[in-house]
Amino acid sequence: MDSPKLFDIHSHLNFSRFDEDREEVIKRMRDNGIWTVCVGVDKKTSREAIKLAEKYDEIFAAVGLHPTEDLTTGFSSDEFEKLARHPKVVAIGECGLDYYRIENQPAEAEQIRQKEVFARQIELAIKINKPLMVHCRSAHGETLEILSSYEGARGDIHFFSGAWEQARKYFDLGFSISFAGPITFADEYDEVIKKSPLDKIMAETDSPFASPAPHRGKRGEPLFVKEVVKKIAQVRGISYEEAAEAATRNALNFFNLRTAPKTTK
């Protein structure tokens, strides 16, 4: 397949919840013309993402250290740079700030640690000229402040859950945003979906999490990105075909892809 019909820009097919039927999930994705980026949250899952990307033409990888993973050992730029230079790694992340889940430690110290690890990953992304896959929860002000301080930083705010004013500021920095399953059952995203430039938004599932309606409560998978695109089309008052074409084109441009490179199987 030379190009996808849809592009789920953020999934975790490397996670253990897919261990029993991963091949079947990927087959459904491929049969429906869907590509995905398999996202790492630490060194182990980043390596696993690359292995899946090496096996399947339609899967790409992102490598990084999630803000709620074990940050006590710090971020090894050298180790992650080796992973990031793999030809099928298309982004650095997911990385960012998550102040919602700070527990069992002084909040200020944890925030400082998260900012330091995030900064190292921004610097790596700039160095190797790949975009960031940014996780942000309860920290949009700090995330915007940090990103604006780096000339040349670019990327996507994944699973966007902020307000229009925050989205506008990300767009002003040259970033895009992506929407996940909750837009299908919660209307607080509608304003951002309506007002965002069509060429600045993408679709994702964050599988296995946050499945869209009508699959809510079930384990997510890349196939469900169809429902996210349907909702974007509905809210914007455009056809599904137009929304799918735009979201897919945006993803291909964002990751600098035109056709799927052939992998050795």
Q: Give the per-residue pLDDT at 265.
A: 36
Query: What are the residues facing 38 on neighbouring strands?
Result: 11, 61
Read off the tokens for 126. 């700039």
Q: Give the per-residue pLDDT at 71.
A: 66
- Are 155 and 133 in contact, with CB atoms under 8 Å apart? yes
Closest CA to 149 of 166, 176, 126: 126
Integer Rg of the chain from CA: 17
Q: Give the per-residue pLDDT at 70.
A: 75
Q: Give the per-residue pLDDT at 261.
A: 46
Dist CA 71 CA 65 (whole Å): 8
Q: Give the per-residue pLDDT at 263.
A: 45
The residue ranges of every structural domain in the chain are: 6-254
Pick the CATH number of 6-254 from 2.120.10.30, 3.20.20.140, 3.40.50.10490, 3.30.110.40: 3.20.20.140
Q: Give the per-residue pLDDT at 103.
A: 55
Segments of the chain with pLDDT less than 50: 104, 260-265
Dist CA 142 CA 131 (whole Å): 19
